[in-house]
Amino acid sequence: MSVFIIRRLMQAILVVWIMSLLVYVGVHIVGDPVDMLINPEADQAEIARVIRDLGLDRPLHEQYWYFLKNALQGDLGNSFIFNEPALKLVVQRIPATFELALAALGLAVVIGIPLGVYAGLKPDSKISQTIMASSILGFSLPTFWVGLMLIMFFSVMMGWLPSFGRGDTETIFGVEFSFLTWDGLTHLFLPALNLSLFKLSLVIRLARAGTREVVHQEYIKFARAKGLSQNRIIFVHLMKNIMIPVVTVLGLEFGGLIAFSVVTETVFSWPGMGKLIIDALHNLDRPLVVAYLMVIVVLFVFINLVVDVLYSILDPRVRLRDLKG
C-alpha cells in the first residue's frame, strides 16, 4: 500500500510540473496584464517600469526558470495585482469553497439517495417517473442560468433568502465558517443547491440503478424469506451494497465540484477560490492562476487517493496494489 501511495505522489509531482509549464506558456500567449493594471494616463516610462518590475521584459524561458527555482523553495511568486503571495491568496479562499462544495455534496447525498432508492423500488409509480424526469433537467440545465433563476425566485420574488455573498461567519481554529450562524446558513443554501443540482441528478440515477440491480439479488430475496422487516432490508442489506458506486463516483466528482464552483461562485458572489480565479484570468494575473491550478491538481490527486483507500475499506475484495507491481 505504501508503494502505491508513493507512486501516486510521484505522479502528482509530474502532473503539477507539466501543468505549471502549460499555464505559463498559455497565459503568456494570451497577453500580459500590464494594460489591465496600469492607469491609462501613465506615460511610456511608467509602462516600461511596470513591465520591468513584473519581470515581463525577460524571455519566457528565463521567467519560467526563475519561477521554478522559487517554486521549489515553496514560493509561487506574488500576485501581480494584489502584491501578496499567490499561494496565500488561494489558500485563504479554500475554506469558503470547501464549505460550499461539502454543503453541495451533502445536499446531493441527503436528497439524492432517498429519491433514487424510492425510484428504484417503485419504478412504475408516477412519483418515480417525475423524479427521473427532473433528474434529466438537473443534468441538462446550465448552472449559471439555474443560479440566476434561483436568485430570481427565492430572493427577488419571494424575498426568502439572500441573493449573494457569504453572510455572518463564525471562527473556529482561525478559519471562518458560515454554516455555524443562521445568517450564514441562509446565505449558503442557494449557492449550495445550485452547485449540487448536477451531482444530485447523478446520485439519483446511481442510487436508482443500484437499487434496481440489488433488489433482485438472492440475498435480498433470502432476507425477505427470513421475514426481516422492509426497513431493515432497505437500510442494511440494500443501502450497503448500492453505496460502493455512489462513494466512488462522488469522491471523484468532489474535485469536479470544487472546480465547477467557479460558475456558482461568480453568480452568487461567493468569496471562494472560483471567484478569485475568474478575476485572475480576466486580469492575466499569471502567478495567481498558476498557484490556483497547482492547488487544484494537488487536491484532485489527494481526493483520488482517499477514494481508492475508502473503496478498499468498503469492498474487502479490492486490494490496493499496482497492476505492474
Partner 1 sequence: MKFKKMLQATAIAAVASFAMGTAFAADLTVGLGSEPSSIDPHYHNLTPNNAMSANIFNRLIEQDDKQNLLPGLATEWKAIDDLTWEFKLREGVKFHDGSPFTADDVIFTWDRAPNVPNSPSSFATFTKGKTMTKVDDYTIRITTDKPYPLMPQDVSNVAIISKKAAENATTADFNSGKAAVGTGPFKFVKWTPGDVIELVKNEDYWGNVPEWDKVTVKPIKSGPGRVAALLAGDVDFIENVPPTDIERLTDNGDVQLSQGISNRVIYLHMDQFREDSPFVTAKDGSKIKNPLMDARVRKALSMAISRDLIVERVMEGVAVPAGQLLPEGFFGVSPNMAPEKYDPAGAKKLLAEAGYPDGFKITLHGPNDRYINDAKIAEAIAQMLSAAGIQATPETMPKSVYFKRASRGAEGGLPEFSFVLVGWGSGTGEASSPLRSLLHTYNKEKGFGSSNRGRFSDAEFDKLVEDALTTVDNAKREEMLIKATERGIGEMQGIIPLHYQVNTWAARKGIAYTPRTDERTQLEYIHSSK
Of 149, 167, 147, the C-alpha closest to 158 is: 149
Minimal distance in Å, beta carbon 288 to partner 1?
12
Using CB under 8 A, list all residues that contact partner 1: 30-47, 49-50, 53-54, 78, 80-84, 89, 92-93, 148, 151-152, 155-156, 159, 162-166, 266-269, 271-272, 275-276, 278-279, 282-284
Estimate the crossing angle of helix 239-267 against helix 86-121, to 10 degrees: 130
Three-class HEC string of 284-304: CCHHHHHHHHHHHHHHHHHHH
d(CA 296, CA 163): 27
Give the largest Cα separation in the chain, rounded.
87
Which of residues 246 and 267 has its CB atom nearest to partner 1 in the complex? 267
Which of residues 80 and 177 has its CB atom nearest to partner 1 in the complex? 80
List beta partners, residue 71: none
Of 134, 142, 139, 100, the C-alpha closest to 116 is: 134
- φ/ψ (deg, to 5) at 282: -60, -35
Which of residues 39 and 231 has its CB atom nearest to partner 1 in the complex? 39
Minimal distance in Å, beta carbon 271 to partner 1?
4
Minimal distance in Å, beta carbon 269 to partner 1?
5
- Contact present, 79 and 289 (Cβ < 8 Å): no
Minimal distance in Å, beta carbon 287 to partner 1?
12
- Contact present, 253 and 139 (Cβ < 8 Å): no
Which of residues 80 and 118 has its CB atom nearest to partner 1 in the complex? 80
Number of Cβ atoms within 10 Å of the Cβ of 298: 15
Which of residues 46 and 62 has its CB atom nearest to partner 1 in the complex? 46
d(CA 254, CA 250): 6
Minimal distance in Å, beta carbon 193 to partner 1?
16
* SS3 at position 84: coil
Q: Which three cell numbers, joined as nine digits, stand for 51?
A: 513591465
Which of residues 84 and 170 has its CB atom nearest to partner 1 in the complex? 84
- Contact present, 182 and 161 (Cβ < 8 Å): no
Which of residues 213 and 279 has its CB atom nearest to partner 1 in the complex? 279
